[in-house]
Amino acid sequence: MTTESGTARGARPAPTDPEVQAFTQKAFGDLGGMLVATMVVIGDQLGLYRALDTAGAATPAELAQRTGTAERYVREWCSAQAAAEYLTYDAATGRYALPPAHAVVLVDEDSPACMLGGFEGMFAASRIVPKILEAFRSGAGVGWDQHDPALFRGTERFFRPAYQAHLVREWIPALDGAQAKLEAGAHVADVGCGHGASTLIMAKAFPRSTFVGFDYHPPSIERANAAAREAGVADRVRFDVASAKTFAGDYDLVACFDCLHDMGDPVGVARHVRETLRKDGTWLVVEPFAEDRVEQNLNPIGRVFYSVSTLVCTPASLAQEVGLALGAQAGEARLRAVMTEAGFTRVRRATATPFNLVLEARP
């Protein structure tokens, strides 16, 4: 029996109990982290970090003048960022500075360490919490297309630097024979391509190959085609609206980057991929890194990926047919099971990073 002063297992500890105090500090730190993330989005969108990086330390008045913003707001933001140890503060001069190491994370969008897209995307994802509350109660899904568009932009900004760093240099060379085909001239499908960042990275690296990106989300495909024109590769890269179970073609390489776990019927997708592969073709699957058991993922990476999965990935899968809902921490064993159930006979881990599993599947 539960009472106002206790639980079925006995009385709760007092607020002064050391364990309560310790957890209070942790919870307060997490509250601070949520607020700091909001401050990062503000600093990014107003160009405050860029101004500090390019012109150096500044007083709030100087920073406001550089960025066309109001000094009183900038002063409070700077103080919050200094308290969070994102900026440094020189009391003698009243100036705030962005350390060079922090600029790699908060300014340099070509660095795999850049986190701006993650902050922007997750800030946008939090706006859907009212729908997620309803989904918790009903068990229904919440589609990717129902999110704030800033999630789509933030997702591209978050993943693109890692793809730029690893895809051509490490992941494709780790596949059996795929690089030679791409260099000679292959036909490639990027399924679940979003804004097409991964497609364009491959296209620029392999000028003899042709590429088609597919996504069910029309605004993303529109943006991807514009990006192909801007990159000067539209003559051999195109993007079409199609689901992962309906895209058409005949391919040497099919790639799915950080999206298979979002799909409602990944086994059905895998079967369709196998049907579209040419003889001795390759399916490249990049997924968030995870071990196979929950207890192995109770760490800072799991903290982020399980949370993202609650807001975005699992609801997206549940909004589709079958709704297998692998989640962003599916793990290699479950991913392998999807592939083998679909008829792939050769599945292996090609390589990995601390944040990615890179799997190769062959018919």
Choose the weakest-confidence range: 7-11, 156-160, 170-174. 7-11
Give the mean pLDDT of the chain.
96
Whole-model pTM? 0.93
Distance separating alpha carbons of residues 278 and 35, to the nearest angstrom:
50
Which is nearest to 145 in space by CA: 244, 217, 213, 214? 217
Question: Six-digit token pair at 52?
Answer: 């500090």
Which is nearest to 165 in space by CA: 210, 128, 209, 201? 201
Distance separating alpha carbons of residues 276 and 253, to the nearest angstrom:
9
**DSSP letters spanning 34-59:** HHHHHHHHHHHHTTHHHHHHHH--B-
- Over residues 234-281, the pLDDT tens digits come to 999 999 999 999 999 999 999 999 999 999 999 999 999 999 999 999
**DSSP SS3 for 70:** coil
- Over residues 317-355, the pLDDT tens digits come to 999 999 999 999 999 999 999 999 999 999 999 999 999
Distance separating alpha carbons of residues 203 and 280, to the nearest angstrom:
21
In the chain, the domains with their CATH numbers are 17-103 (1.10.10.10), 166-362 (3.40.50.150)
Which is nearest to 50 in space by CA: 73, 67, 33, 26? 67
Cβ atoms of 182 and 212 within 8 Å: the answer is no
Cβ atoms of 221 and 183 within 8 Å: the answer is no
Give me the helices (H) in the chain, please. 18-45, 48-55, 60-67, 71-83, 100-106, 116-125, 129-138, 149-166, 178-184, 197-205, 218-231, 266-276, 300-308, 314-318, 332-341
Position 63 confidence tier, pLDDT thresholds 50, 70, 90: very high
Distance separating alpha carbons of residues 167 and 163, to the nearest angstrom:
5
- Over residues 67-126, the pLDDT tens digits come to 999 999 999 999 999 999 999 999 999 999 999 999 999 999 999 999 999 999 999 999
